[in-house]
């Protein structure tokens, strides 16, 4: 085990880790805000990747952008794709929450006791979204040939620059969310709604609106994650499922419902997974995330940063 | 039941008689099946809670209902969530700190680290942040030492003198009647006795109603 190979493992581990972290962030955000685990979150990730790819295919044929910015052409298009994924998934998330989840919560129990209905709805939604994506984009894996520059040499191996790009953008998004939640009025309201809907009602927060916003932000972040992964791997209809499971492991490792914990958990799972498949065996890559999750649950059931699990009334 | 402008009305009764339910219905947390709730000549029983707050009717919960992981200032800023400008927010913060200097001393502490009395002050302060016309206090004396209760009631009196209407729900009958102009005693969800608080204080049936009317079978 040389230091050089360790650098490679670390880069890849951090880059996949931040993706797990971003999806886990959304899962944790929805869990604190709506008191349910959103099992369709992987699909927002997948559709986000397709949204980014669609934008990429539209802009890729536009010569005038190339003529305008010959040097930074690939970057500009890619940033627009990320932005498209963010905005479209945010709106799509709000739409899904309003149309599919709101009627369930209105029927009774709010977002707490009736949560079981929403959890099952999440599974169903996942199947529906996969099949809709299947109809629109067909099941063939698609390349996302973003031109982001030459590969970089890290630890003696040439890695696509997208690995580093994933880490930077991912941390930027996570940091942005932190600033948004802690420094803005809307963020203050979101934290209040996440803690107690009754008290938030009493101080005059429009709680249903804020629940939609929470869902939308979580989905928007997942969408960015999908577009970030696109150029490094491929965009395929079935990419959401395994990401959801890994992100779930990341959220549990970091402490369920804890937002910084989601990112740290994502990094931990990513590095552990990459290191294990590099040094032990790559043929069971998907096993390691859950192995780590089980180990963490045995030693510290609340995860790294988890505090007392929120009581459900 | 009626609460006049700029008066203090006490709503009394034992455990489980429906006092808090009335407040919850008035602030929109639960829907009322029948009957109406009017505020400033406007029916509010079917409005969502944030609309009711925007109309100036604010419920102040018991001290345990703060956001413990946020600082005192953040809790107060949440209270002024419906305010439009930062200047209003600043003015109201100053007003609340003027009522409760203790909160000013502790403005950067997490709410979880406050004592019971300070939490109650924080809750009242949070209620005042949105420039309400009327506040409804849910048991401001619950689980507090007598000295602190006195302090809190003095402050409620000050608030009332500044022109606010106050509805106070209490189990501490004597304190509440000392503060209030008018009182309602509720028993099994219906109003049992009402009257000027000075009269109620010496009313035998109040005592009985408050004790739930049960006599020990010895």
Look up the ipTM and state it. Answer: 0.79
Q: Answer yes or no: do A204 and B49 touch at CB < 8 A.
A: yes
Residue B135: pLDDT over 80: yes
Q: Which helix (H) or strand (E) holds B211?
A: none
Q: Which residues of B touch A (CB under 8 A)?
A: 27-29, 48-50, 53-54, 58-59, 61, 65-67, 69-70, 74, 77-79, 81-82, 126, 129-130
Block mean pLDDT (10 aa), chain A, length 313: 75 89 90 83 91 86 72 80 91 89 65 65 88 87 78 74 86 91 88 83 85 91 90 84 89 85 90 87 82 87 67 39
Query: What pLDDT is attached to residue A307?
Result: 62
Facing A202 at nearest CB: one of B49, B69, B77? B49
Domain presence at residue A74 = yes
Residue B97: pLDDT over 90: no
Query: What pLDDT is attached to residue A221?
Result: 93
- Name every chain A residue with its beta carbon within 8 A of the beta carbon of B54: 204
DSSP assignment string, B21-80? HHHHHHTTSS--SSS--EETTEE-TTS-HHHHHHTTEEEE--TT-S-TTSBHHHHHHHHT
Nearest CA in chain B to A198: B29
- Residues 6 or more apart whose CB falls under 8 angstroms from that of A84 comprise A51, A52, A54, A55, A227
Which residue, chain included where needed, has tokens 């180990």? A295
Q: Which of B67, B86, B131 to mutate to test the interface with A (most CBs of A within 10 A)?
A: B67
Categorize the per-residue pLDDT at B216 as very low, low, confident or very high, splitting at 50, 70 and 90: very low
Query: What pLDDT is attached to residue A180?
Result: 92
Q: Is A201 on the interface with B (CB under 8 A)?
A: yes
| Beta carbons of B129 and B90 less than 8 angstroms apart | no
Would you put residue A35 in left (φ > 0), alpha (ψ -120 to 50) or beta? left
Mean pLDDT of B182-196: 76
Query: What pLDDT is attached to residue B212?
Result: 47
Which residue, chain included where needed, has tokens 């929120």? A310
Other CB atoms closer than 10 Å to residue A54's CB: what's the count? 17
Nearest CA in chain A to B76: A203
- Residues 6 or more apart whose CB falls under 8 angstroms from that of A209 comprise none
Query: What pLDDT is attached to residue B215?
Result: 44
Which domain covers residue A100, as residue numbers? 18-240
Categorize the per-residue pLDDT at B214 as very low, low, confident or very high, splitting at 50, 70 and 90: very low
Nearest CA in chain B to A203: B79
Beta bridge partners of A158: A153
Nearest CA in chain A to B82: A204
Other CB atoms closer than 10 Å to residue A6's CB: what's the count? 15
Query: What pLDDT is attached to residue A86?
Result: 92
A250 by DSSP, 3-state: which?
helix
pLDDT in tens, B171-184: 777 777 777 778 88
Mean pLDDT of chain B: 77
Q: Answer yes or no: do A205 and B81 touch at CB < 8 A.
A: yes
Determine which of A172-176, B29-33, B204-208 has the lowest per-residue pLDDT on average: B204-208
Facing B69 at nearest CB: one of A185, A195, A202? A195
Determine which of A127-141, B131-145, B148-162, B184-198 has the lowest per-residue pLDDT on average: B184-198
CB pairs under 8 A between A and B: 63
Helix H segments across A97-184? 102-107, 115-137, 162-183
Closest to A82 in 3D by CA, of A199, A3, A162, A190: A162
Other CB atoms closer than 10 Å to residue A32's CB: what's the count? 19
- Residues 6 or more apart whose CB falls under 8 angstroms from that of B159 comprise B99, B124, B128, B135, B166
Query: What pLDDT is attached to residue B210?
Result: 59
Domain count, chain A: 1
User: First vs last Cα of chain A: how many Å apart?
Assistant: 51
B165 by DSSP, 3-state: which?
strand
Domain presence at residue A179 = yes
Q: How many CA atoms within 13 Å lie on the side-chain side of A31?
A: 21
Domain with residues B8-67+133-210, CATH architecture:
3-Layer(aba) Sandwich (3.40)
Distance of CA A165 to the CA centre of its chain: 16
């Amino acid at each position: 085990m040389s230091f050089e190979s360790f650098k490679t493992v670390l880069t890849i581990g951090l880059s996949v880790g931040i993706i797990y972290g971003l999806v886990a962030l959304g899962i944790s955000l929805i869990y604190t805000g709506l008191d349910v685990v959103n099992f369709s979150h992987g699909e927002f990730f997948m559709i986000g990747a397709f949204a980014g790819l669609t934008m990429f295919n539209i802009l890729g044929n536009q010569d005038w952008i190339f003529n305008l910015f010959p040097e930074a052409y690939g970057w500009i298009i890619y940033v627009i794709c990320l932005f498209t994924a963010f905005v479209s998934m945010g709106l799509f998330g709000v739409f899904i929450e309003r149309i599919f989840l709101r009627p369930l919560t209105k029927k009774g129990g709010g977002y707490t006791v009736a949560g079981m209905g929403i959890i099952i709805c999440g599974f169903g939604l996942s199947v529906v979204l996969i099949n809709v994506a299947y109809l629109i984009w067909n099941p063939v894996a698609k390349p996302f040939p973003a031109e982001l520059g030459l590969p970089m040499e890290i630890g003696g191996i040439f890695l696509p620059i997208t690995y580093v790009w994933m880490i930077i953008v991912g941390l930027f998004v996570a940091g942005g969310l932190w600033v948004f939640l802690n420094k803005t009025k809307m963020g203050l309201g979101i934290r209040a709604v996440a803690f107690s809907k009754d008290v938030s009602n009493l101080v005059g927060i429009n709680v249903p609106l804020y629940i939609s916003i929470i869902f939308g932000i979580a989905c928007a972040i997942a969408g960015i994650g999908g577009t970030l992964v696109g150029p490094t791997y491929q965009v395929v209809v079935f990419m959401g499922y395994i990401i959801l499971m890994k992100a779930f492991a990341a959220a549990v490792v970091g402490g369920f419902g804890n937002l910084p914990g989601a990112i740290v958990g994502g990094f931990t799972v990513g590095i552990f997974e990459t290191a294990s498949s590099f040094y032990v065996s790559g043929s069971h890559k998907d096993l390691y995330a859950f192995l780590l999750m089980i180990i963490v649950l045995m030693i510290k059931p609340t995860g790294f940063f988890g505090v007392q699990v929120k009581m459900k009334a | 039941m009626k609460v006049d402008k700029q008066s203090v009305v006490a709503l009394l009764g034992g455990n489980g008689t429906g006092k808090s339910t009335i407040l919850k219905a008035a602030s929109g947390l639960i829907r009322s099946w029948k009957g109406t709730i009017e505020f400033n000549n406007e029916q509010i029983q079917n409005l969502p809670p944030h609309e009711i707050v925007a109309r100036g009717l604010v419920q102040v919960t018991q001290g345990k209902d703060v956001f413990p992981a946020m600082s005192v200032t953040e809790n107060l800023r949440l209270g002024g969530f419906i305010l439009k400008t930062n200047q209003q927010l600043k003015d109201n913060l100053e007003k609340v700190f003027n009522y409760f200097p203790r909160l000013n001393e502790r403005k950067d502490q997490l709410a979880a680290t406050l004592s019971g009395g300070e939490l109650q002050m924080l809750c009242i302060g949070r209620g005042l942040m949105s420039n309400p016309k009327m506040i409804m206090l849910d048991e401001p004396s619950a689980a507090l030492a007598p000295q602190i209760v006195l302090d809190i009631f003095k402050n409620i009196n000050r608030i009332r003198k500044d022109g606010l209407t106050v509805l106070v729900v209490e189990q501490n009958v004597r304190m509440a009647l000392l503060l209030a102009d008018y009182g309602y005693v509720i028993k099994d969800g219906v109003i049992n006795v009402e009257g000027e608080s000075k009269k109620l204080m010496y009313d035998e049936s109040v005592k009985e109603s408050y004790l739930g009317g049960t006599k020990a079978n010895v």
